[in-house]
């Protein structure tokens, strides 16, 4: 049985696992996912309130946009998610949203991480959280992968789907395996940075604004606000509302290394100016997105690059194409296509 390790339980990693299971039904594959976080989602993270786990907020991606170029190519993926109730058309009002002709927007009733969880369930993979990969060695024709728990394991195939700068931080034989040209190309990939604030409220709290979400253009700190339960059309008297605030990229870059509590206070001060009537939340979570969205992808956007063929070591994710749902689908499909030659 071939042992496959996928590093990163975000959209690309989870879909890659599901596609591998689907593409090779007769091939006994033992698929394992490692992620350094405490749960699935990556930048499609959905966070739970400390006072009530049913009160959730999307701290990363807010909705899925289907553009005409991908509507037919990825039709089966959208149909699958819509049929299973994972996606639902976005019908709530979003002020300041630029809607291009022919595009459709979708929300996730159970939060953005539900897309990732859907694919993880389909994959049947063994998933291990708080497994931060540190070193990769080539040993007896297999990959020995070490993580911060102090343990290591051996695999026949390794798929890296974390942000590109984290790939470049890995130690071990992988340092020599990445050639000079590949390293230069990997180093050219860049990301924007921002903060997200999740505000969680007690059941019965009223947030009186006429919109479900709003893009902000005239604030030095805040770029986007969403009354998250309203955006997803799941208002309930039993579950408190939730609010997410995304900062602008310039603010995120300027305050990237600041203490998170100080950043949180700055965001809250600006939020009060925009919505003075906003009630006091029951709990708050501040998320630093060091790698928010890809601003410059790997040259020519191949979707993935192969670092080694026998045994197989491949990199993928939005850093190798572009930062959206369809980009991650293309990357996962590209990875699986590359693996067909080795399985």
Q: What is the pLDDT of residue 38?
A: 94
pLDDT in tens, 70-124: 999 999 999 999 999 999 999 999 999 988 899 999 999 999 999 999 999 999 9
Reported as a pLDDT band with limits 50, 70 and 90, residue 341 is: confident
Q: What is the pLDDT of residue 99?
A: 85
Q: What is the pLDDT of residue 234?
A: 85
pLDDT in tens, 278-318: 999 999 999 999 999 999 999 999 999 999 999 999 999 99
Q: What is the pLDDT of residue 342?
A: 74
pLDDT in tens, 315-333: 999 999 999 999 999 999 9
Q: What is the pLDDT of residue 1?
A: 87
Alpha helices in 107-157 (DSSP H): 113-123
Helices (H) and strands (E) counted in the chain, each on its own, are 11, 23
Q: What is the pLDDT of residue 326?
A: 97
Q: What is the pLDDT of residue 263?
A: 98
Q: What is the pLDDT of residue 343?
A: 74
Reported as a pLDDT band with limits 50, 70 and 90, residue 24 is: confident
Mean pLDDT of the chain: 95
Residue 232, burial from CB neighbour count under 10 angstroms (0-12, 13-18, 19+)? buried
Lowest mean pLDDT among 8-12, 51-55, 226-230: 51-55
The position carrying tokens 């499909």 is 333
Query: Which among 65, 41, 45, 43 has a CA at the least distance from the CA of 56?
Result: 45
pLDDT in tens, 232-251: 988 788 999 999 999 999 99
pTM of the model: 0.96
Would you say 79 and 46 are in contact if contact means Cβ atoms under 8 Å apart? no
Q: What is the pLDDT of residue 97?
A: 93
Spell out the residues 6+ positions from residue 225 whose beta carbon is closer than 8 angstroms to its own: 213, 214, 216, 243, 244, 245, 246, 271, 274, 275
pLDDT in tens, 124-139: 999 999 999 999 999 9
């Amino acid at each position: 049985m071939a042992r496959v390790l996928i590093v990163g339980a975000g959209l690309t990693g989870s879909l890659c696992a599901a596609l591998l299971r689907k593409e090779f039904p007769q091939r006994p594959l033992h698929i394992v996912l490692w992620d350094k976080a405490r749960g699935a989602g990556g930048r499609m993270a959905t966070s739970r309130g400390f006072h009530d786990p049913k009160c959730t907020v999307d701290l990363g991606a807010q909705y899925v946009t289907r553009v005409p170029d991908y509507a037919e190519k990825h039709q089966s993926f959208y149909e699958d998610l819509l049929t299973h109730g994972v996606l639902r058309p976005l019908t709530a009002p979003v002020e300041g949203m630029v809607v291009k002709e022919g595009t459709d927007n979708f929300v996730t009733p159970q939060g953005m991480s539900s897309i990732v969880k859907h694919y993880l369930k389909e994959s049947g993979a063994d998933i291990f959280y708080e497994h931060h990969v540190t070193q990769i060695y080539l040993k007896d024709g297999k990959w020995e992968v070490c993580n911060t728990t102090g343990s290591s394991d051996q695999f026949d195939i390794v798929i890296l789907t974390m942000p590109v700068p984290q790939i470049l931080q890995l130690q071990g034989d992988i340092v020599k395996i990445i050639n000079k040209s590949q390293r230069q190309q990997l180093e050219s990939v860049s990301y924007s940075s921002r903060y997200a604030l999740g505000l969680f409220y007690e059941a019965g709290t009223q947030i009186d604004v006429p919109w479900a979400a709003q893009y902000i253009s005239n604030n030095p700190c805040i770029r986007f606000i969403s009354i998250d339960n309203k955006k997803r059309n799941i208002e309930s008297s039993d579950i408190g509302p939730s609010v997410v605030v995304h900062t602008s990229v310039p603010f995120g870059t300027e305050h990237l290394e600041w203490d998170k509590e100080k950043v949180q206070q700055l965001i809250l001060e600006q939020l009060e100016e925009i919505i003075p009537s906003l009630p006091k939340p029951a709990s708050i979570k501040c998320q630093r997105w060091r790698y928010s969205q890809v601003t410059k992808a790997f040259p020519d956007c191949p979707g993935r690059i192969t670092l080694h063929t026998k045994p197989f070591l491949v990199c993928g994710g939005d850093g190798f194409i572009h930062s959206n749902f369809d980009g991650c689908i293309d990357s996962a499909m590209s990875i699986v296509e590359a693996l067909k030659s080795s399985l």
